[in-house]
Amino acid sequence: MNEEIIKLGFALIYGIATILAVIFLGLLYKGIDRKLAARFQSRVGPPIRQPFRDVSKLFMKETITPENSVSWIFHSMPLIAFATALLIILYLPIGPFAPILGEYGDLILIVYLLAIPSLAIAVGGFSSGSPVATIGAQREMVLMMSYEFPLAIVVLSLAWLANINATGNAFALGTFTANPVWEMVGIVGAMGLVLLLASIFVVLTSELSKLPFDIPEAETELAGGVFAEYSGRDMAMFYLADAVKSFAMVTLVVALFFPYNLSPWIISQFGVELPAIMGIPIAAYVIDLLFFLFKVFIIMFFAVTFVRVSLARLKIDKASYIYLVPTTIIAIMGMVFIYMGSAL
């Protein structure tokens, strides 16, 4: 009984520490993204710590309830979006650390959870009573229905690949960590993985509501769209949910396609023994965690920062078309190449 209590207490402390760390990292990466985007556009840009200032300022401001809103729905959606984003993190491996709830969910659950913050944003916009927010909510729903299909194809393709090449649950992230997908395929299959990776990169931009797919908020057209009526604590919750979900989505891409650690390579190449404290390989954990954060930065740079400074905002019909036709076709081609590679 005492051992179970100690184990539960350790898991609780570990979970709280992970959540706090991810909130910090999500805001930090948001600040780096804004700074790099400004530099690309020949601007000075805000300081990297600006997202932390924005959140603290929003929490200090008054939270206003629109006159025509359904208040209990309007105020509960930001909390649901933020809580769901935090829950997703608990199912994902953070660098060398295993997911806290990894034994209680898999990729199917993660895909469902990823849809909830977007759904909460749309419901919040509908419940605000604002015609501007309603238009933004409609756009959010259209986008969500568009990019979920290619995302599902990518997940199913990888799960099918894991099912025929690895042992264990094909939808468990631990399976991909132990058996990287690039080691399961030949040249033809690798071409398929590249196509799947390209598809999920396009989905990633829209999942995070970044240019050119920030159509639901579109400040210059809809004055903030779904967030037009939000303020104070509610807006801070959405802000934090966006930061955490951004980190979670990129972490998912890392776990599926690039689950490699650096410390085993250092040990094998240089024949060194990394120092440990009380049997815990602290040095290996630090190296692998830093390498993980580097991978997150690279993916976020190319999938978010580089894209949003290179392209202008799309119309909603064009954005939906991109997901339902070209992106879906690319994902299906990736699936076909993987099947052909396994058949050879």
Domain residue ranges of the chain, discontinuous segments joined by +: 2-343
CB within 8 Å of 329: residues ≥ 6 apart: none
Residue 32: name the closest of 251, 211, 308, 300 by CA: 300
How far the first Cα of the chain sits from its last, in Å, is: 54
Structure confidence at residue 165 (pLDDT): 84
CA 152/CA 207 separation, integer angstroms: 13
Question: What tokens does 183 get?
Answer: 């080691």
How many beta carbons lie within 10 A of that of residue 265, not counting itself? 12
Question: What tokens does 79 get?
Answer: 């909390």
Residue 234: name the closest of 8, 20, 73, 86 by CA: 73
Residue 224: name the closest of 139, 302, 288 by CA: 139
Ordered per-residue pLDDT tens for the chain, 344 residues: 567 777 777 778 888 999 999 999 999 999 999 999 999 888 988 999 999 999 999 999 999 898 888 999 999 999 999 999 999 999 999 988 888 888 887 899 999 999 999 999 999 999 998 888 888 888 889 888 899 899 999 999 999 999 888 777 888 888 898 889 999 888 999 999 999 999 999 998 888 877 777 777 777 676 677 888 899 999 999 999 999 999 999 999 999 999 998 888 887 777 667 766 656 678 888 889 999 999 999 999 998 888 888 887 888 889 889 999 999 999 999 999 999 988 77
How many beta carbons lie within 10 A of that of residue 181, not counting itself? 25
Which pTM does this prediction carry? 0.92
